């Protein structure tokens, strides 16, 4: 265990979260923001195929250490979200909402059915070479890995059967990741719970979107005598209030071309952001420069960048952007509260917590990531507060 003395309540718990969480006292953390494995077998990683995200034992430990009314935000994949959420609910959490993180740069990992038919029949016709992202449906999933991991054979339908199924594939383009919004049951009323524990509510004004000043009417509906709103019953107007920004929504996006100004915008994690503070660490491994455990990912930049085999200092394959993590920890954590992440990875939640002025506790079992976490935390502690990314 590493204690960060500059933030006395913050620490890295090294080991399996099922074991390390048991060392924490009951009702000791204010929020949980985490990016658990999506259980997709991502890039052949054993940690993404263990079933831990479906473990009611895990989520029961999270429930135990959360203060009453504390919120849990947990990412998942579109195909496996339901199983994780059922386990969270079965452990005793209330499912309050779902946040959708939308992105425009997802890349489909689809099987080209026409090509598969020709392969099966031994009639595959190769007409040239291409690079990932340069050709049509499905080609990018069939690289010529012997020569270049980004290069693949360009084919065209040859047999009558393959021609019949040209243009058919097996996957949609990934464009969202769901985040469950769950809450530990409150004790008594929300007001009593907030006053007693400091938890149970969302930081609405602190998470508003945009900078426009808006006037809200303050109305009194008490004269409706139980009638349904909108049925013509009189409304007594009491006055107006001014607020800055729109009410935070359960949608987050990365800059789609449509008009999304009313929703929170978050760009993808850049290479410089991933590696900030890691200048002294050696480059190693093969990095998937993306934000999703989906094998196709949704990374920024070209497909070659997404499936990069270049060594990197932060070689964790699914680094979330700091702006996104800062937004989420601020949404569910009371001032000076403690954020827990049972799956700390390369430390993005810890960095986000520090930059927002919160304490943090993280669990991580992969030793290779410990130096990355420690260096990123040190970098965050040395940044001006608040740091605008």
Whether the per-residue pLDDT at 21 is higher than 60: the answer is yes
Convert the pLDDT of each residue in 146-184 to its tens digit. 334 456 778 889 899 999 999 999 999 888 999 999 999
Q: What is the mean pLDDT of residues 27-52?
A: 85
Percent of the chain predicted with pLDDT > 70: 74
Is residue 323 included in any domain, yes or no?
yes
The verdict on 371 and 320 lying in the same domain is: yes
Is residue 63 included in any domain, yes or no?
yes
Is residue 76 included in any domain, yes or no?
yes
Convert the pLDDT of each residue in 53-69 to its tens digit. 999 999 999 999 999 99
Whether the per-residue pLDDT at 220 is higher than 50: the answer is no
Number of folded domains that form the chain? 3
The verdict on 218 and 73 lying in the same domain is: no
Alpha-carbon distance 375 to 364, whole Å?
15
* Contact assessment for residue 74 and residue 88, using Cβ atoms and an 8 Å cutoff: yes
The verdict on 29 and 70 lying in the same domain is: yes
What's the confidence (pLDDT) of residue 8?
A: 42
Is residue 43 included in any domain, yes or no?
yes
How many H helices and E strands in the chain? 11, 14
The verdict on 183 and 123 lying in the same domain is: no
Whether the per-residue pLDDT at 223 is higher than 80: the answer is no
The verdict on 49 and 11 lying in the same domain is: yes
Residue with tokens 């993180």: 101
The verdict on 60 and 196 lying in the same domain is: yes
Whether the per-residue pLDDT at 366 is higher than 60: the answer is yes
Is residue 286 included in any domain, yes or no?
no
Is residue 303 included in any domain, yes or no?
no
The verdict on 44 and 87 lying in the same domain is: yes
What's the confidence (pLDDT) of residue 277?
A: 77
Lowest-confidence range among 282-291, 335-344, 353-362? 282-291
The verdict on 40 and 96 lying in the same domain is: yes
First and final C-alpha spacing in the chain: 30
Provide the whole-model pTM.
0.80
pLDDT band at residue 285 using 50, 70 and 90 as cut-offs? low
* Contact assessment for residue 286 and residue 309, using Cβ atoms and an 8 Å cutoff: yes
The verdict on 231 and 341 lying in the same domain is: no
Is residue 386 included in any domain, yes or no?
no
Q: What is the mean pLDDT of residues 275-301?
A: 53
Q: Which domain holds residue 227?
A: 209-246
CATH code of the domain covering residue 338? 3.40.50.150
The verdict on 318 and 190 lying in the same domain is: yes
What's the confidence (pLDDT) of residue 6?
A: 33
Convert the pLDDT of each residue in 108-139 to its tens digit. 888 999 999 999 999 988 888 876 543 333 33
Helix axes 56-65, 81-90, angle to 10 degrees: 50
Secondary element (H or E) of residue 156: strand 151-156
The verdict on 138 and 194 lying in the same domain is: no
DSSP 58-106: HHHHHHHHEEEEEEEEEE--TTTHHHHHHHHHHTT-EEEEEEEEE-S--
What's the confidence (pLDDT) of residue 316?
A: 65
The verdict on 126 and 239 lying in the same domain is: no
List Cβ neighbours of 382 (8 Å cut-off, separation of 6 or more). Answer: none
Convert the pLDDT of each residue in 77-107 to its tens digit. 999 999 999 999 999 999 999 999 988 777 7
Whether the per-residue pLDDT at 373 is higher than 70: the answer is yes
Whether the per-residue pLDDT at 305 is higher than 70: the answer is no
């Amino acid at each position: 265990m590493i204690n960060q003395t500059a933030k006395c309540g913050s620490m890295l718990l090294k080991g399996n979260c099922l074991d390390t969480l048991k060392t924490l006292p009951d009702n000791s953390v204010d929020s949980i923001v985490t990016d658990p494995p999506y259980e997709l077998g991502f890039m052949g990683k054993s940690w993404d195929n263990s079933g831990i995200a479906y473990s009611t034992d895990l989520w029961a430990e999270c429930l135990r250490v959360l203060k009453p009314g504390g919120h849990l935000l947990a990412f998942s994949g579109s195909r496996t979200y339901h199983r994780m959420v059922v386990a969270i609910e079965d452990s005793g959490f209330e499912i309050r909402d779902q946040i959708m993180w939308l992105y425009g740069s997802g890349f489909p990992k689809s099987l080209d059915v026409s090509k598969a038919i020709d392969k099966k029949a031994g009639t595959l016709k190769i007409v040239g070479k291409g690079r990932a992202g340069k050709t049509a449906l499905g080609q990018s999933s069939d690289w010529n890995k012997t020569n270049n991991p980004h290069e693949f054979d360009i084919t065209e339908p040859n047999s009558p059967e393959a021609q019949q199924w040209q243009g058919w594939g097996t996957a949609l383009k990934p464009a969202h990741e769901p985040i469950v919004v769950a809450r530990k049951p409150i004790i008594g009323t929300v007001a009593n719970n907030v006053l007693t524990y400091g938890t149970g509510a969302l930081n609405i004004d602190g998470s508003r979107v945009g900078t426009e000043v808006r006037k809200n009417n303050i109305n009194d509906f008490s004269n409706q005598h139980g009638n349904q709103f909108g049925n013509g019953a009189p409304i007594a107007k009491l006055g107006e209030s001014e607020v800055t920004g729109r009410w935070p929504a359960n949608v987050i996006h990365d800059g789609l071309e449509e008009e999304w100004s009313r929703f929170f915008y978050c760009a993808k994690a850049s290479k410089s952001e991933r590696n900030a503070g890691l200048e002294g660490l050696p480059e190693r491994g093969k990095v998937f420069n993306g934000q999703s455990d989906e094998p196709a990912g949704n990374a920024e930049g070209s497909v070659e960048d997404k499936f990069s085999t270049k060594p990197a200092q932060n070689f964790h394959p699914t680094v979330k952007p700091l702006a996104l993590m800062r937004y989420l920890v601020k949404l569910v954590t009371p001032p000076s509260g403690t954020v827990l992440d049972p799956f700390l990875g390369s430390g993005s939640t810890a960095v986000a917590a520090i930059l927002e002025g919160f304490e943090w506790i993280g669990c991580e079992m992969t030793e290779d990531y410990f130096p990355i976490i420690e260096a990123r935390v040190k970098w965050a502690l040395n940044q001006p507060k608040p740091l605008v990314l």
